[in-house]
Amino acid sequence: MRPELLNPLFTEVEALKGVGPQLAKALRRLGLERAVDLLFHLPTGAIERIRAPAASPVLLGRNVVLEVKPFEARQSSGRGPTRIYAADGEGNVITLAFFNAGGWAKKQLPLGEPRIVSGKLEAYGDQWQMVHPEVLEPGKGAEPPLREAVYPLTEGLTNKRLRELVAAALERAPEVAEWVEPSVLGRERWRPWRSALAEAHADPEAGSSRKRLAYDEIFANQLALQLLRQVSRRKRGLPLQGDGRLSARLNLPYELTGAQRRVVEEVRGDMAQAAPMLRLLQGDVGSGKTLVALLAMLNAVEAGAQAALLAPTEILARQHHATLLRQLDQIGVRVAILTGREKGRARDSVLMGLASGEIDILVGTHAIFQEKVGYRNLGLAVIDEQHRFGVSQRLLLSAKAERPPHLLVMTATPIPRTLTLTQYGEMDVSRIDEMPPGRSPVETRVISDERLGDVIDGLERHVAAGGQAYWVCPLVEESEGSDAAAAEERAAVLRQRFHGQVGLVHGRMKGPDKDAVMAAFAANQLAVLVATTVIEVGVDVPNATLMIVEGAERFGLAQLHQLRGRVGRGEGKSTCLLIRGQTLSETGRARLALMRETSDGFRIAEEDLKLRGPGEILGTRQSGEAAFRLATPEMLGELAPLATDDARLLLDRDGGLAGERGQAARLCLYLFERDQAVDLLRSG
């Protein structure tokens, strides 16, 4: 349970003074639900103010704090502003203008009484003017600070109000024992946590304090991953050593690449140990990860255990199932599929087969790891994950099981090293850094959507020559259904030209309907597949050699890279057309140019990390998993390796986090809501 010390930070914002339902709603829009969220909502800039005795030309355009005496109020006719004329310390006339707030202004600025006004000093004709200044009675309340932090805001929330709320949240922040390694703290000259927090809010340029807070966040993340690793590795799994009798009978049309061979050996080595494997397999799209998974699963089956393969989508689960059936049926390995769609008797029979051991390999979506699904002897879990399977789910699978299966996570996006550390820090990493032979690079072109007609003509030639093509429509942000609508519209337009040769898949279609379309495309009964990004993941149709992406500037680069990876899988030359809108920002242009320039997935991912942040690459922006609130991508790059070492060192010395620093580190875990990791300590 969370230590009491931190409870004041985890109360809802409504507990703060003056926060009613209206304000709470505005705060929620910014994701500020509890006091702790306010603490981590750091300012993004600052307003500088100058306290001056009187207006003067050098102050034009600056934020100025002045003492004035109002002497005349004038309400303009119609919808014009109320103007209050006031004299500053040297007798200059300042016009204070208020729109739709005349009554309020007159009350705030009684004639003949001194007042302090603060606002931007402007010239209006030959007069000085301030529009909507803040007004204060001298001696009453604090003057606006000369340097004020500015926060990201939303409608119904002023900077002033937010500043007050942050101050209230800061008051709730306790003094805590130090969790940062003393040598790091000394070298970086970081302040203690609470004081760093206060400084980061007071001064948006307080680089050192921001860095410290980012470090804390990353440290909590790394420590949680290391704990997961420690607890998992301490458990006994099943040492599995296959004898090769099944894999020898596999009928493969090609040789393994060197990289595949090496990775398979690494996996076999891990699986032979009693400590459960925790391995991440990175390999670009099309590098042949499925085959590695297949050989690993056969290794388990040869050793008398069951294996499970988790796919991120229904479509992909079915495709994997079909591939495995084709290769394994003839050698007597029994493969079954289980997704949300298997119901009733079909489902029962799979469940029984798993429990009795009649099924050797199960393929499916997340349904395959639900509690109700009981395996006789699950020895290996392979997760073909495309990043949708988060840390907490991996945790459920390996750390909570009594006899955890060996775990192989496969990912197609080349993840920058920093992100590998923060996402998979508990795992060993294997890389497939070599493509199967015979792949020709995909030619990439960027085309303005003004030339859509030319694109469709080109598509016609491609289809006439017997080729197949993907046409991808972007996700439309405004409403959930409209991406499907956009794809439907595009399909309708293409059908006028290509008639029955056009298929359509999008996320709102029923599963069996999607499968039917995909199957028809794979069997070359359809020439053009119009799709939303549902096809991003894993489908394999070698005869499709043309990829058209509409609204390309709206995709992440890593996503475009994935899409492009759908083509270039067969013999023929492949092309990727990126159709862009007509208004394109500088960066938008540069990003698409990079796609044209390189097919190096790592370079593309690094670039995406810089431009869009980790959520985008990992596809986790929506799920909330792996979101760092304080650490920017640059900070992640600099601090993740350091925090990883620090976490490891701490656990080496004090695996139970029982010592003084260990206790402090527990607090850090709770602060960043890695409660599950602390729970592991108790159960492990």
Residue 474 or 538 having the CB closest to Mg ion: 538
Q: Which is nearer to ligand ADP, 91 or 438 (CB)?
A: 438
Is the torsion defined by CA of 3, 9, 634, 388 positive or negative? positive
Select 183 or 440, whichever has its Cβ closest to ligand ADP: 440
Cα–Cα distances (Å) from 660 to 191, 220, 664, in that order, read 19, 16, 6
Least distance from C-beta 541 to ligand ADP, angstroms?
9
Q: How far is the CB of 263 from Mg ion (least distance, A)?
A: 14
* Binding-site size, ligand ADP (CB under 6 A): 17
- Phi, psi dihedral angles at 486 (to 5 degrees): -60, -40
Q: What angle do CA 478, 479, 480 make, to 5 degrees?
A: 135
Q: DSSP character for 12?
A: B
Give CA–CA dist 351/366, Å, rounded. 15
CB of 298 vs Mg ion, minimal distance in Å: 17
Does residue 133 bind Mg ion (CB under 5 A)?
Answer: no
User: Closest CB to Mg ion among 503 and 538?
Assistant: 538
Number of residues engaging Mg ion in binding (CB under 5 A): 1
- Within 421-460, the residues that bind ligand ADP by CB under 6 A are 436
- Please list every residue from 290 through 309 that binds ligand ADP, using CB under 6 A: 290-291
Q: How far is the CB of 475 from ligand ADP (least distance, A)?
A: 22
CB of 118 to ligand ADP, least distance (A): 60
Q: How far is the CB of 302 from ligand ADP (least distance, A)?
A: 21
Cβ contacts of 109 within 8 Å, gap of 6 or more: 70, 73, 84, 86, 96, 115, 135
The residues in 232-291 that bind ligand ADP, with binding defined as CB under 6 A, are 254, 256-257, 260, 283, 285-291
575 beta partners: 443, 546
Q: Give the shortest CB-426-to-ligand ADP separation in angstroms.
A: 23
What's the angle, vertex CA 278, arms to CA 274 and CA 282, rounded to 5? Answer: 140
Cα dihedral sign, 358-360-364-367:
positive
**554, 533 contact by CB (below 8 A):** no
Q: Please name the residues in contact with 463: beta carbons below 8 A apart, sequence gap of 6 or more.
A: 469, 498, 501, 527, 528
| Contact characters 530-549, ligand ADP, x per CB under 6 A | --------x-x---------
Residue that is written with structure tokens 């959930």 in the block: 480
If binding is defined by CB under 5 A, does position 565 make contact with Mg ion?
A: no
Q: Residue 319 binds which one of ligand ADP, Mg ion, none, with CB within 5 to 8 A depending on kind?
A: none
3-state secondary structure 410-423: EECCCCCHHHHHHH
- Asked whether position 206 contacts ligand ADP by CB under 6 A, the answer is no
Query: CA torsion angle for 669, 673, 674, 675 (degrees, to 10)?
Result: 100
Instruction: Rule CB under 6 A: choose which of 387, 564, 569, 580 binds ligand ADP.
Output: 569
Is the Cβ of residue 209 or residue 413 nearer to ligand ADP in the bound state? 413
Cβ-closest position to Mg ion: 538
What type of residue sits at position 177? A
Min CB(284)–ligand ADP separation in Å: 7
Four-residue CA torsion sign, 462, 465, 470, 476: positive
Task: Kindly tell me which of 425 and 538 has the beta carbon lying closer to Mg ion.
Answer: 538
The structure tokens listed for 169 are: 């949240």
Least Å from the CB of residue 392 to Mg ion: 23
Binding mask 386-415 for ligand ADP (x = CB under 6 A): --------------------------x---
Token couple for 371: 């509690």
Q: How far is the CB of 540 from ligand ADP (least distance, A)?
A: 5
Under the binding rule (CB under 5 A), the answer on residue 353 touching Mg ion is no
The entry of Mg ion, ligand ADP, none near residue 467 (CB within 5 to 8 angstroms by kind) is none
Which of the listed partners (Mg ion, ligand ADP, none) does 283 bind, with a CB threshold of 5 to 8 Å by partner kind? Answer: ligand ADP
Is the Cβ–Cβ distance between 296 and 382 less than 8 Å? yes
Sign, Cα dihedral of 457, 459, 462, 463: negative
Q: Which is nearer to ligand ADP, 240 or 412 (CB)?
A: 412
The distance of Cα 584 from the centroid of its chain, to the nearest Å, equals 24
The pattern of x and - marking residues 501 through 540 that bind Mg ion according to CB under 5 A reads -------------------------------------x--
Which residues in the 316-375 window bind ligand ADP by CB under 6 A?
none
Question: Hunting for tokens 């409660």 — which residue is that?
Answer: 675
CB of 591 to ligand ADP, least distance (A): 23
Q: Which does 102 bind (CB under 5 to 8 A by kind): ligand ADP, Mg ion, none?
A: none
The Cα 504–Cα 513 span in angstroms is 10
Q: How far is CA 624 from CA 152, 213, 358, 445, 666, in A?
A: 19, 20, 39, 34, 22
**Which phi and psi (to 5°) does residue 129 adopt?**
-145, 150
Closer of 201 and 561 to ligand ADP (Cβ)? 561
CB of 535: closest distance to Mg ion in angstroms? 13
Residue with tokens 């937010």: 162
Residues that bind Mg ion (CB under 5 A): 538
Residues that bind ligand ADP (CB under 6 A): 254, 256-257, 260, 283, 285-291, 412, 436, 538, 540, 569
